[in-house]
Amino acid sequence: MKKNILSSLLIIPVIAVSITTSCTKTGDELPEWVDYINDPLVKLNLDYNNHTFVKDGIEEVSLATAIDGDTAHFRTADNDLIKARYYGIDTPESTGKVQPFGRGASNFNKEKLHEADEHGTIVITSVSVDEYKAPSFDSTGERYVSLIWINTEKEHASSSELTLLNLWIVQEGWSDVKNVNDLPQYQNIFFAANEQARIYKKNLYSGVDDPLFNYGGYEEAIIPDISKEIIASMQDETHVNEFDGRKVRFNGTVAGWSNNILYLTTYDEETDENYGVNFFTGMGGIDDRYIQPGAYLEVYGLCQDDENFGFQLTDGNFNIYSSADSAAQVVIEASENTAYPLHVNEFIPSELGAANYDVLNCAVSLTEEVVVSDCYINNNTYTLYLEDTEGKPLDFDIYIPFTYYLEPGNYSTRVVDESVMIGKKFNLSHGVYTFHKTTSGKINWQITICNNKDFLVVNEENEG
- Fill in the DSSP letter of residue 286: -
The span from the CA of 384 to the CA of 397, in Å, is 6
CATH class of 219-336: mainly beta
The span from the CA of 398 to the CA of 142, in Å, is 22
Other Cβ atoms closer than 10 A to 323: 6
Give the CATH fold of the 345-462 domain.
OB fold (Dihydrolipoamide Acetyltransferase, E2P) (2.40.50)
SS3 content of the chain, % helix, strand, coil (to 5): 20, 30, 50
- Positions of CATH 2.40.50.140 in the chain: 219-336, 345-462
Per the CB < 8 A criterion, the answer to whether 63 and 89 are in contact is no
Average of per-residue pLDDT across 318-325: 92
Average of per-residue pLDDT across 412-429: 96
**How many residues make up the chain in this entry?**
464
CATH class of 21-205: mainly beta
State pLDDT tens for residues 370-406: 999 999 998 889 999 999 999 999 999 999 999 999 9
pLDDT of 144 above 70: yes
Per the CB < 8 A criterion, the answer to whether 241 and 277 are in contact is no
Least confident of 14-18, 207-211, 333-337: 14-18
Rg (CA), the chain: 25
State pLDDT tens for residues 82-140: 999 999 999 999 887 899 999 999 999 999 999 999 999 999 999 988 899 999 999 88
Look at the pTM and tell me if it is higher than 0.75.
yes
Longest dimension (CA), the chain: 87
The span from the CA of 125 to the CA of 137, in Å, is 13
The span from the CA of 254 to the CA of 40, in Å, is 55
Degrees (nearest 5) of the Cα angle 94, 175, 138? 75
The span from the CA of 107 to the CA of 101, in Å, is 10
State pLDDT tens for residues 214-245: 999 999 999 999 999 999 988 998 998 999 99
φ and ψ at 207, to 5 degrees?
80, 10
- Fill in the DSSP letter of residue 317: B
399's CB contacts (< 8 A; 6+ apart) are 381, 382, 383, 384, 434, 436, 446, 447, 448, 449
- Positions of CATH 2.40.50.90 in the chain: 21-205
Amino acid at site 413: T
φ and ψ at 148, to 5 degrees?
-115, 120
